[in-house]
Amino acid sequence: MSTIVHMTLIRAATTRDAEACAAIYAPYVTDTAISFESEPPTAADMAGRIAASVERFAWLVAEDGDGRVVGYAYGAPFQARPAYRWSCLVSVYLEPGRRRTGLGRALYAELLERLAARGYRVAVAGITLPNEASEGLHRAMGFEPVGTYRRIGWKFDAWHDVAYCQRTLGAVGDPPVEVA
């Protein structure tokens, strides 16, 4: 399934999108503390991440009117232990200049719907602080704050806090159905 929002196509990613996703993500790694990675992943690294996400979760890309990937969102494991299998981490990244355009919200809306359809019950997001745009996006998408790790990450010669928030996905009946 694909969704069109403001002349932007949102669709399932494939490993062919790895180079574009790596290019979008690289400035977050090299120029900000939003990501705690120290080296941008290569296109091959990103292809592996996309393949792993698509298998169990979802990875979506947004294409502009020219068919160029301008953003992406994905789900990933929250924790490895079996009791956490109905929970997932989510993230969204947009190319520079695309923040506060509604694109992040559109990507998340589609991602959260797909994760709920697979049986996931809780989406969790971590936000390096300060990051007003990300905090606003998550609040607008129904995420609620659940805690902040203080001075948890060291990057660019400074300590950074990370706030976590979560959102319920789908029905909350018990016992949960196995994730598809």
Query: What's the pLDDT at 22?
Result: 98
CA atoms within 13 A on the CB side of 73: 25
Query: What's the pLDDT at 8?
Result: 79
Burial (CB < 10 A; 0-12, 13-18, 19+), residue 172, is exposed
Separation between Cα atoms, residue 102 and residue 64, nearest integer Å: 13
Separation between Cα atoms, residue 52 and residue 58, nearest integer Å: 9
Query: What's the pLDDT at 117?
Result: 93
The domain spans of the chain are 3-121
Query: What's the pLDDT at 96?
Result: 86
Query: What's the pLDDT at 102?
Result: 86
pTM of this structure: 0.92
Query: What's the pLDDT at 6?
Result: 56
Q: For residue range 90-122, list pLDDT tens digits in order.
A: 999 999 877 767 899 999 999 999 999 999 999
Query: What's the pLDDT at 101?
Result: 74
Residue ranges of the chain whose pLDDT lies below 70: 1-7, 100, 172
Query: What's the pLDDT at 1?
Result: 55
Architecture per CATH, domain 3-121, reads as 3-Layer(aba) Sandwich (3.40)
Query: What's the pLDDT at 5?
Result: 52
Query: What's the pLDDT at 175?
Result: 75
